[in-house]
Amino acid sequence: MTKAERTRQLILEKAAPLFNTKGVAGTSLSDILEVTKLAKGSLYVHFENKEDLAHEVVDYQLDRLANVVETAMSRKKTAKEKLFAYIDLYLDPLNPPIIGGCPLLNFGMEADDTDEVIRKKVHQLVEKAQQNIRSIVERGIETGELKSDWDAKEFATTMFAMVEGGIMMSRIAGNNKAMQVIARSLKNEIEEKVN
Amino acid sequence: MTKAERTRQLILEKAAPLFNTKGVAGTSLSDILEVTKLAKGSLYVHFENKEDLAHEVVDYQLDRLANVVETAMSRKKTAKEKLFAYIDLYLDPLNPPIIGGCPLLNFGMEADDTDEVIRKKVHQLVEKAQQNIRSIVERGIETGELKSDWDAKEFATTMFAMVEGGIMMSRIAGNNKAMQVIARSLKNEIEEKVN
DNA sequence: TCAATAAATGACCGATCGGTCGTAACAATA
DNA sequence: TATTGTTACGACCGATCGGTCATTTATTGA
């Protein structure tokens, strides 16, 4: 890892939680300089401008999220276990694995009307996440673990919506009650589909 | 309505869609001056500062949302019809009744880490919306319209989460497919509980 | 080891930010 | 209609915004 690569990585790591909590518009370069302990000129060695940095930070955060999910699920064998692992990842939206909460929700809702580039990046991962859930259910049906009358695609959509909605509710409430109700409800629904 | 009241109302009306699409941090006073055709000093006749204006705009938007929901549901008689009316309100997140989309989602996700006052305002309406759904289900059970084994509170939480999650997904995707799947799924679930 | 290359610095820039205030225009009311 | 209180105005303020660049310092590879 060259010096440049290390510095670039440092900036992304330090800037990511700022953008994810305060938003892109709400985060200034001086905020980033403060946490990185770098001078302003250094930022521009590694990034074209604030917009470019924001886009790279989004990539960085979405990669992290994808990895967290991937790791948690790959540890499990059965479809049910994998789905439960996914749900468990989001059980505590007030102390989330990624500071500031789900970047899909945060960046997505800020960017939907303001930044087409970010919107598309977020969209890609939203699609991938649903595809992931869907594939697990479909494979579960194929192996006979899950009942075959289950609409995998529809379930993927509703499950994803419930999780994101639950995160929103819990973060707004300042407690995790909503998310716990939702997790229980989702797990019941899955349990009913296990043969 | 005095002159002051009219001007104040004008500012709220014109500023609301700006805040709801670009966010509070992403909206400048000059943006607001442009759409209101007012001079800067006028803003400060009616509001203390930008933060105060933002809080009043949030109140204004949440009142509007509450009214839209209230109006749509009060037209209907049965519990099923009322719940369907609620769902139908959100069927087209790309052309929503409130410009910029659901203010609970927009303001909520921006404010959860940055503005406690807004967070609490949003929280109140989120609670009220759930309570509303819950009451309708409970009354439906009492009148015998709905099956009595239905957990009204849990349903209110999951339904609200699904709708908000569906809005998020559709706005990020740039189409309404996700929301339509969710609406259909919710309506099926309700239909199954009708006696 | 040392020359060539790259990264880091921070003073500096114009633009824009949120906010103030003296003055002019207007509205309300007696 | 005259008077008084209110609203609207916009030049102005200091601070901060995102961004540049000549110079210094550090890294790299021959």
What's the rounded Cα separation, in Å, for the pair B54 and B58? 6
Q: CA quadruple B8, B14, B17, B23: dihedral positive or negative?
A: negative
Helix then strand count (H, E) for chain A reads: 9, 0
Structural domain includes residue A31: no
Structural domain includes residue B16: no
In chain B, which among 58-117 make CB contacts under 8 A with chain A? Answer: 100-101, 104-106, 108-110, 112-114
H or E stretch at A195: none
Partners of A146 in beta bridges: A194
Structural domain includes residue B128: yes
Structural domain includes residue A64: yes
Tell me B192's DSSP state: T
At residue B10, the pLDDT reads 98
> Could you report the per-residue pLDDT of B43-66, keeping only the tens digit for each?
999 999 999 999 999 999 999 999
> Could you report the per-residue pLDDT of B127-167, keeping only the tens digit for each?
999 999 999 999 999 999 999 999 999 999 999 999 999 99
pLDDT at B81 over 90: yes
Structural domain includes residue A87: yes
ipTM summary value: 0.95
Structural domain includes residue A121: yes
Among all protein residues, pick the one whose CA is nearest to the C1' atom of D9: B39
Strand C contacts in B 101-130 (CB under 7 A): none
Per-residue CA distances from B167 to A156, B83, B91, B95 (Å): 15, 17, 9, 11
**CATH code where residue B83 lies:** 1.10.357.10
Q: Report the nucleotide nearest the CA of residue A26, measured to C1'.
A: D17
pLDDT at B69 over 90: yes
Probe site for chain A from B169, B176, B186 (most A CB atoms < 10 A): B169
pLDDT at B1 over 90: no
**Residue ranges making up the domain that contains A167:** 51-191
Overall number of domains in chain B: 1
What's the rounded Cα separation, in Å, for the pair A43 and A87? 37
Q: How far is B167 from chain A (nearest CA, A)?
A: 9
Q: Which chain C positions have some atom within 7 A of a protein CB?
A: 6-12, 16-22, 27-28
Structural domain includes residue B146: yes
What's the rounded Cα separation, in Å, for the pair B42 and B11? 10
What's the rounded Cα separation, in Å, for the pair B5 and B131? 33
> Could you report the per-residue pLDDT of B10-51, keeping only the tens digit for each?
999 999 999 999 999 999 999 999 999 999 999 999 999 999
CB of B18 within 8 A of CB of B1? no
Structural domain includes residue A159: yes
pLDDT tens, chain A, 195 aa long? 899 999 999 999 999 999 999 999 999 999 999 999 999 999 999 999 999 999 999 999 999 999 999 999 999 999 999 999 999 999 999 999 999 999 999 999 999 999 999 999 999 999 999 999 999 999 999 999 999 999 999 999 999 999 999 999 999 999 999 999 999 999 999 999 999
